[in-house]
Amino acid sequence: MQKTFVNNTFIEDFNFALLKKAKIGKKLFPLALMIIALLLFIKLVNNNSSIEKSLTEQYINAPKVDDIYFLDFRKITSDLRPKEKYRLAKVVDITGEIVTLNYGNFYYQRQHAAEQSIRYGQLRYKGYFETGRRDFHISDLIALRESKAIYMIKRPVLNKLFGNFVSPDKVATSTAIYLPGKHQNISGEAFLNDIALETNLRSAFEQFKLSADYGYAQGQVNLASMYLNGQHVEKDIEKSLYWFKQAALQGHKPGVLKYIIVCQQVKHCSIMNFYDELVSAGVNIKVRSFDFSLEPSI
């Protein structure tokens, strides 16, 4: 039988080469892990950015009260100091296609600082937002979004965003006092928010109608809003104006403000006559200037 002899020097060289590669591999392994982690992080950031952009587009087209708008104010006005760049705004009312915002009283130099202000609970303070209301047609807000003046929109969940509240604590009011129509209005609001119920709009309308007929001001505003938005019923501006006015004549501020917004869009509607009616009814009013103008279309 023939024996095969292998050169010992060759074996030693081969083992040395393997050992050298193994040492190099050990050195490169942490680097490879860091590169993989970095790539995964970049992918996660890009995914989050895509989701954020998609939600912002969704929220700008279907706004809700309490939405928080992140503004690059340099794209809105040039009358700013060097460090005044970013600002927050909050949706405080929606009347048809008119969205009312309150601007924050503070400017920020960086976008991150604006977000941190929410995390630190600054929006919980009553004086954070201006008292002045800014009315925008939804098409104007979409234009601001396209210009990047509105660079992000966040929608709070249970009045919280980034782990903190975005509104001052509400003062508890007694529910023991009986007010005709109040219970029906509460029921209507519950039905309106119950989107899982197929008949929610019909039930909400019926409850708001009962509440409005009882003379409960907020019920009248909610009923007017359903007529204005065409929810469950055909859109009816005249009935909407009627019910907003009934609430306004009781000194109900939302009724006054919403009537004025709708009235500006109706040819035959006179705001001055409305003011006269309020004064005659003994309602104390404070006339504010509007930040938009609409051509009467109805």
pLDDT one-digit tens code per residue, 255-279: 999 999 999 989 889 999 999 999 9
| Res 234: pLDDT | 93
**Per-residue pLDDT averaged across 149-173, rounded?**
88
Structure tokens that stand for 116 in this block: 């941190």
Percent of the chain with pLDDT over 90: 62
pLDDT at 227 over 60: yes
Task: Give the mean model confidence (pLDDT) for residues 170-183.
Answer: 77
Residue pair 161/122 in contact by the 8 Å Cβ criterion? no
Domain 182-280 fold is: 1.25.40
Mean pLDDT of 158-182: 83
- Mean per-residue pLDDT, 162-189: 84
pLDDT(6) > 70: no
Of 50-59, 201-210, 236-245, 282-291, the range with the lowest mean pLDDT is: 282-291
Per DSSP, the residues of 183-213 read HHHHHHHHHHH-TTSTTHHHHHHHHHHHHHH
The pLDDT tens digits for 102-137 are 999 999 999 999 999 999 999 999 899 999 999 999
Query: Distance (Å, rounded) from C-alpha 209 to C-alpha 278?
Result: 23
pLDDT at 298: 52
The CA distance from 165 to 149, in Å, is 24
SS (H, E, C) 152-180: EEECCECCEECCEECCCCCCCCCCCCCCC
What amino acid is encoded at 222 in this protein?
A: N
CB-based burial label for 217 (10 Å; 0-12, 13-18, 19+): buried
Q: Compute the C-alpha angle 92/113/45, nearest 5°.
A: 95
For the chain, the domains span: 61-165, 182-280
- List the structure tokens of 219: 């019920």
Percent of the chain predicted with pLDDT > 70: 80
Identify the band that residue 50 occupies on the pLDDT scale cut at 50, 70 and 90. Answer: confident
Distance CA 166, CA 122 (A): 8
Q: Distance (Å, rounded) from C-alpha 145 to C-alpha 70?
A: 10
Which residue would you say has higher pLDDT here, 193 or 150?
A: 150
Cβ contact 89:131 at 8 Å:
no
User: Taking residues 27-37, what's their average pLDDT?
Assistant: 69
With 70 as the cut, is the pLDDT of residue 175 above it? no
pLDDT at position 294: 43
Q: Do residues 135 and 99 touch, judged by C-beta distance below 8 A?
A: yes
Lowest-confidence region among 8-12, 38-42, 77-81: 8-12
pLDDT at 224 over 90: yes
Instruction: Please tell me the predicted confidence (pLDDT) of residue 27.
Output: 60
**Are residues 208 and 223 in contact, defined by beta-carbon separation less than 8 angstroms?**
yes
The encoded tokens of residue 141 equal 């807000």
